Amino acid sequence: MVNEKDKDEFFSRVKALRLNPDALEEVVIHVPGSNKFVIKNIPGKINSLQIWANATSNDGYVSQNGARRALEIFGDAYRAEAKKAREEISDASRHPAIDYLENLVASGKSWRVDVIRRESAKQIPAHVVSAIKEIRKDNPTPFYVYDATGIRETIQTFNKAFNWVPGGFKNYFAVKALPNPHILRLMKQQEWGADCSSLPEIRLAMSVTSNMKGNEIMFTSNDTPESEFQEAYLAGAILNLDDITHIDRVQEALREDSLR
């Protein structure tokens, strides 16, 4: 039923996902009311592995939209073959990856999916690998693990690369990229500043251990109300304006009578 043209088009769609199958260990599908279904990185399963991995969001779920897109990648020919296989009991498990996607769509819900990547795909320090194994015993994925030692070493390497800058070099970490107070404390300890794009981010930066203040804070914002310019100014932050029209707005916001 699946001819060579269908196969070529299918492989082309999988290739367009731009996933490296060598980086994947397996995909674990948590089927509601049933056992887990595992797609391993073995011959004959690699394409299904990539499709499910692509459909899984960063928070570890395949949504209705994600499942439908995945079915489109499999295509009509393979879906028809899977349907025929289901009708022939002896060949019922030939396309389980498609069957589960169709069951997911029929459920109208999102399903939990774990995408397990190979440790060899990215060199991870042994202490981090060990920590992840311990954390997984009591915590479901996904979760985030931050390597403080690795972050410090990266900052030091980064600073060293710019130690030629006349008058000294100071980097400002974009708080919106990771508004985590523990990370901000680490940045502060390494003498980095905070690049804030909103008032809550300024307050977060100022609340960390050994409060960030003055020129340790850069305020880079868009569509900013006068009150935020005022608070950033009173905090001593550097106002970084990326739009010429902001100049007049800042001058108006920082009038002496406006700051009373």
Pick the residue with more confidence: 260 or 152?
152
Domain-embedded: residue 217: yes
Computed over every residue of the chain, the mean pLDDT equals: 89
User: Which pLDDT does position 90 carry in this prediction?
Assistant: 64
Judgement on whether residues 190 and 254 belong to the same structural domain of the protein:
yes
Judgement on whether residues 194 and 252 belong to the same structural domain of the protein:
yes
Domain-embedded: residue 80: yes
Instruction: Please tell me whether the peptide bond between 142 and the residue prior to it is cis, using omega within 30 degrees of 0.
Output: yes
Domain end position, chosen among 119, 138, 157: 138
Judgement on whether residues 105 and 171 belong to the same structural domain of the protein:
no
Range of the domain at 228: 165-258
Model pLDDT for residues 161-201, shown as the tens digit of each residue: 999 999 889 999 999 999 999 999 999 999 999 999 998 99
Q: What is the CATH number of the domain that holds 239?
A: 3.20.20.10
Both tokens of 23, joined, read 């980086």
Judgement on whether residues 8 and 129 belong to the same structural domain of the protein:
yes
Judgement on whether residues 124 and 28 belong to the same structural domain of the protein:
yes
Based on the structure, what is the number of domains in the chain?
Answer: 2
Q: Which of 58, 142, 63 is nearest to 101 (CA)?
A: 63
| C-alpha dist (Å) from residue 30 to 45, 62, 135, 207 | 18, 10, 19, 40
Domain end position, chosen among 138, 154, 177: 138
Domain-embedded: residue 9: yes
Strand blocks (E) in the chain: 24-30, 36-40, 61-62, 111-117, 172-174, 193-196, 217-220, 238-240
Pick the residue with more confidence: 126 or 211?
126
Judgement on whether residues 116 and 242 belong to the same structural domain of the protein:
no
Domain-embedded: residue 158: no
- The percent of residues above 70 in pLDDT, for the chain, comes to 95
Residue with tokens 């916001």: 253
3-state secondary structure of 64: helix
Strand partners, 39: 27
Judgement on whether residues 52 and 91 belong to the same structural domain of the protein:
yes
Judgement on whether residues 8 and 107 belong to the same structural domain of the protein:
yes
Domain-embedded: residue 127: yes
Pairing verdict, β 111-117 and 61-62: antiparallel
pLDDT confidence bin for 257, thresholds 50/70/90: low
d(CA 66, CA 29): 14
Judgement on whether residues 107 and 199 belong to the same structural domain of the protein:
no
3-state secondary structure of 235: coil
Judgement on whether residues 112 and 183 belong to the same structural domain of the protein:
no
Domain-embedded: residue 186: yes
CA 252, 253, 259, 260: dihedral to nearest 10 degrees?
60
Flag whether pLDDT at 207 surpasses 70.
yes
User: Which pLDDT does position 91 carry in this prediction?
Assistant: 61
Both tokens of 241, joined, read 């304006």
Domain-embedded: residue 251: yes
d(CA 51, CA 14): 7
Flag whether pLDDT at 141 surpasses 90.
no
Judgement on whether residues 104 and 183 belong to the same structural domain of the protein:
no
Averaged pLDDT, 52-59: 94
Domain-embedded: residue 151: no
Judgement on whether residues 209 and 94 belong to the same structural domain of the protein:
no
